[in-house]
């Protein structure tokens, strides 16, 4: 489990000092995916509680895409 979480925000890639810009891009994309996952989860739960069933299938599809991207091997 610890190995899986090593370099989580860089998709498991290791970067040297000359590749700091690339490392920052990986970090920003992965942080954006994590934040969108949490926002979609919050919206899905909110729509279930309020009974707005129109957007639930779309949110589920978007969550599945996020999960796929989040755990995609580098």
Q: What is the pLDDT of residue 71?
A: 74
Nearest to 60 by CA among 70, 43, 74, 22: 43
- Give residue-wise pLDDT tens across range 46-60: 999 999 889 899 999
Range of the domain at 46: 2-70
pLDDT score for 48 = 92
pLDDT: which is higher, 61 or 28: 61
Tokens of 44: 């899905």
Q: How many domains does the chain have?
A: 1
Q: Which residues of 7-21 are buried (b: 16+ CB within 10 A; e: fewer)?
A: beebbeeeeeeeeee
Q: Which residues touch 46 (CB under 8 Å, ≥6 apart)?
A: none
pLDDT digits (tens, 9 = 90+) for 15-40: 778 888 877 887 788 788 888 889 99
């Amino acid at each position: 489990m610890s190995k899986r979480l090593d370099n989580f925000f860089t998709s498991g890639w290791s970067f040297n000092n000359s590749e700091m810009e690339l490392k920052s891009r990986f970090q920003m994309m992965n942080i954006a995916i994590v934040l969108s996952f949490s926002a979609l989860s919050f919206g899905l739960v909110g729509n279930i509680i309020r009974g707005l069933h129109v957007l639930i299938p779309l949110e589920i599809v978007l969550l599945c895409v996020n999960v796929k991207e989040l755990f995609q091997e580098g």
